[in-house]
Amino acid sequence: MELHLRHAGQQTVLKVAGSQDALLLSRPGEDDFEARILETTQSTVLLEIDGQRQSVHFWRANGKINLQWRGQVMVFELEDPDEDNAGDAGQGSPILRAPMPGKVLELMAAVGDAVQAGQPLVRLEAMKMEIDLAAPMDGTVETIRVAAGDLVEPDAELMRLQPHDREDNEDNEDSEDSDKSDKSDDAKD
């Protein structure tokens, strides 16, 4: 069985073999490892891995599995390996979205500007504070959908970047991914 897992914008392809409670797990480029499933309850999985017993808490919601081990959390969702998936550059989406309801106070970049990852692009007033939203990656500002004074909803698209190429990225892959982002946005509407 092959699982395409997505966590925080990154994808991991995990091959799972073995029986009911003894798994053999492989990932491209990494050593295989084994895990024994000792017990599964309504909210925990008890595993034996690398010779140690580990308890992992879980909660399923919205098609995702939330996992917690020793206080650390990872949220995974399963992807259909046959579907197109946007934003696989691993840096995040080239679309800057409003994280919460708010008001656009200031645009700190213009169409055509080259910007760097982390550079503030939009100043938003939300939760009684001013929050600067930063560029998720190096790129050029392609489109701006809002103006100072606009009220925005969560996930509203604010700006779109044309990502700059990184050494290990292919040009085609980037622009294809941007197009795919477009399609998945339309599907949401």
Applying CB under 8 A, the residues found at the interface with other proteins are: 1-3, 5, 8, 12, 14, 16-18, 23, 25, 27, 30, 33, 35, 37, 40, 43, 45, 47, 49-50, 54, 56-61, 65-74, 76, 78-82, 99-101, 125, 127-131, 134
Q: Taking the complex as a whole, how short is the minimal distance between the CB of residue 37 and other proteins, in angstroms? A: 5
Cβ nearer to other proteins, comparing 66 with 162: 66
Toward other proteins, which CB reaches closer, 82 or 167?
82
Distance CA 141, CA 61 (A): 35
Query: Which residue in this structure is represented by tokens 């995702």?
Result: 64
DSSP secondary structure string for all residues of the chain: -EEEEEETTEEEEEEEEE-SSEEEEE-TTS--EEEEEEEE-SSEEEEEETTEEEEEEEEEETTEEEEEETTEEEEEEEE-TTS--S-TTSS--SEEE-SSSEEEEEE---TT-EE-TT-EEEEEEETTEEEEEEPSSSEEEEEE---TT-EE-TT-EEEEEEEPPPTTS-HHHHHHHHHHHHHHHHHH-
Closer to other proteins by CB, 17 or 151: give it.
17
Q: Residue 1 or residue 112: which is nearer to other proteins going by CB?
A: 1
Q: Which is nearer to other proteins, 88 or 165 (CB)?
A: 88
Whole-number minimum distance, CB 142 to other proteins, in Å?
Answer: 22
Q: How far is the CB of 89 from other proteins (least distance, A)?
A: 17
Residue 71 CB, shortest distance to other proteins, in Å, is 4
Shortest distance in whole angstroms from residue 147 CB to other proteins:
18
